[in-house]
Amino acid sequence: MNTLKKTAYLGMVISAIALSGCLGGGGGSSSDIEPQTPQQKRVAAGFFNSMDPQAISSDQNFKTTGLAGFEDSSRWFGVLDGSRYRVEVPANWNGMLVMYAHGFRGEGSALTVDSAPMRQYLLDEGYAWAASSYSTNFYDVRAGVEDTNALALAFNDIATQNGRPLPTPTKRYITGVSMGGHVTGAAVELETQQTANNFVPYDGAAPMCGVLGDTELFDYFGAYNLSLFEFGGVPANSYPITDVPAKLTAAQQALWVDYSANKGRSGLRATGIDFYNSLQNLSGGERPIYEISFGGFQDLLQSFAATDGTVTGILNRNVVDTRNTVYRFASQPGQSLTQAEVTFNNIIFQITPNASANGLRDDGLRFIPKVNGNLYKAIPVVTVHTLGDLFVPISMEQIYKRRMIDNGFGDQVVQRAVRAPGHCDFTAAEFANTLDAMITWEQTGMKPAGDDFLTPTTVASPDFGCQFTVNGPVAPGQTPRIFMPPCP
């Protein structure tokens, strides 16, 4: 197996995914005393553009072009409270609605909406679906939840305005990818029911490759770069980290033979193996596919080294917290740390958050909504995650499951692993199967099968992820899988 080809392939996959958007506290209420965040200022200045010509053209194409066999579905698009939307209702509508939440769209001004990746499944089964662009870009999960819910509540008005009056949906479900997985997880939380301006009592949720640890994703990015610099011999001693370009160059030279030529494991110096093992544990533990994915994510993860913990202005203050991070590179979870690990954990710099960075507010959701694992009621949740993902790693699934267990909802979540190298790198069948499992569970009461992400020996098994991996036709915009080890 050619490692250089694997690494180049993964780099191409990760770059394409990052560009396409398959990626989104404490204290008391503060909306009346806290100065505007940079994101609020962008909104107030009219930075976000829901009438971008390319977005309009894309939506017009959606309106005029149906899927084969569903040319007679009702397809509507428009603008609702500053966000673009798409709605599709098949002629044989079954009376139920699925909301789709998209991933991170970057930091541009144009607001765009795309079709659900499981659109074929939805139409085949008679479901209506709807998707919002959200009224902002950046990692604005608050806008994602509010605008997705507002669209769900406006579904009947939109249908009536377009000449097809419909009854209120008998069931409403929500699904989404990456940041949209964060939107999905947050949408069914008790805290969301209590604080959102728009709340929808969804009957089930299917977050995919989701940021289900909410701000702990940014803790992970911080821990990655602190460990990169510590292992690389240029330790950070402040946050935000200073001299980032020089530190990145020095760490790359110290840990890799030739970083630009081979970022994969085979390109590491002996000094880089501990870093490799540490990242494996930070991201969820030993598992299949990690070695294949390692090199393809390095540039992306290092791009967060110069951040300041405000999530690009979604917050005013630092939310990143690495004080409870445990760095392992010689021992396994559940084992005692080695003396070398104890020393490393004692000397590495710790990032301390501002306690009020992401506090509760009196004007709606937190700026970064929480996914506490405390559901608004006992509804079914089915998640899915690719094992090679180092952008939104499987540690997000582990955090979510533990939170659900702690809140008495452990039996309400089923989690599934897919043997793929990228972020949200699912085939069309995997998208459809995950959503179908949740919906079938909700409608029949028959709980579907899942994977155990919490037992390290299970996750490390060579066959982990085999049960729910369906190699085959990929979803629109995805890259065919190559170099994947076969299931034993």
Most confident segment among 25-29, 356-360, 477-481 = 356-360
Q: How many whole angstroms separate alpha carbon 312 and alpha carbon 38? A: 8
> What is the token pair recorded at 23?
């990626």
98: three-class secondary structure by DSSP: strand
End-to-end alpha carbon distance in the chain: 17
Q: Please say if the pLDDT value at position 240 is more than 80.
A: yes
Q: Do the Cβ atoms of 225 and 241 come closer than 8 Å?
A: yes
C-alpha dist (Å) from residue 476 to 17, 115, 422, 480: 12, 10, 15, 11
Q: What is the dihedral of CA 54, 59, 61, 65, to 10 degrees?
A: 160
Is-cis flag, bond preceding 448, omega within 30?
no
pLDDT of residue 474: 62
pLDDT digits (tens, 9 = 90+) for 91-142: 999 999 999 999 999 999 999 999 999 999 999 999 999 999 999 999 999 9
The fourth-level CATH superfamily of domain 38-213+361-460 is Alpha/Beta hydrolase fold, catalytic domain (3.40.50.1820)
Q: Do the Cβ atoms of 40 and 452 come closer than 8 Å?
A: no
pLDDT digits (tens, 9 = 90+) for 252-274: 999 999 999 999 999 999 999 99
pLDDT of residue 4: 43
pLDDT of residue 333: 87
Q: How many whole angstroms separate alpha carbon 150 and alpha carbon 156? A: 12
| Confidence tier at 472 by pLDDT (50, 70, 90) | confident
Q: Do the Cβ atoms of 423 and 22 come closer than 8 Å?
A: yes
Q: How many whole angstroms separate alpha carbon 210 and alpha carbon 137? A: 17
Burial of 67 by CB count in 10 Å (0-12 exposed, 13-18 middle, 19+ buried)?
middle
Q: Are strands 83-89 and 74-80 parallel, antiparallel or unpaired?
A: antiparallel
| Confidence tier at 477 by pLDDT (50, 70, 90) | low
207: three-class secondary structure by DSSP: strand
Strand partners, 89: 74
pLDDT of residue 34: 83
User: Among candidates 213, 48, 23, 157, which has minimal Cα distance to 101?
Assistant: 23
Q: What is the dihedral of CA 476, 482, 485, 488, to 10 degrees?
A: 60
pLDDT digits (tens, 9 = 90+) for 364-404: 999 999 999 999 999 999 999 999 999 999 999 999 999 99
Q: Please say if the pLDDT value at position 469 is more than 80.
A: yes
| Confidence tier at 488 by pLDDT (50, 70, 90) | confident
What average pLDDT score do residues 478-482 get? 68
12: three-class secondary structure by DSSP: helix
HEC profile for 347-384?
HCCCCCCCCCCCCCCCCCCCCCCCCCCCECCCCCEEEE
C-alpha dist (Å) from residue 302 to 247, 249, 297, 421: 11, 11, 9, 18
pLDDT of residue 90: 98
Q: Please say if the pLDDT value at position 45 is more than 60.
A: yes
Q: Do the Cβ atoms of 214 and 310 come closer than 8 Å?
A: no
Mean pLDDT, the chain, rounded, equals: 93
pLDDT digits (tens, 9 = 90+) for 170-213: 999 999 999 999 999 999 999 999 999 999 999 999 999 999 99
Domain ranges of the chain: 38-213+361-460, 216-310+320-347
Share of the chain above pLDDT 70, in %: 91
Q: How many whole angstroms separate alpha carbon 374 and alpha carbon 475? A: 32
Q: Please say if the pLDDT value at position 321 is more than 60.
A: yes
86: three-class secondary structure by DSSP: strand
| Confidence tier at 163 by pLDDT (50, 70, 90) | very high
Q: How many whole angstroms separate alpha carbon 60 and alpha carbon 76? A: 9
Q: Please say if the pLDDT value at position 351 is more than 70.
A: yes
pLDDT of residue 269: 98
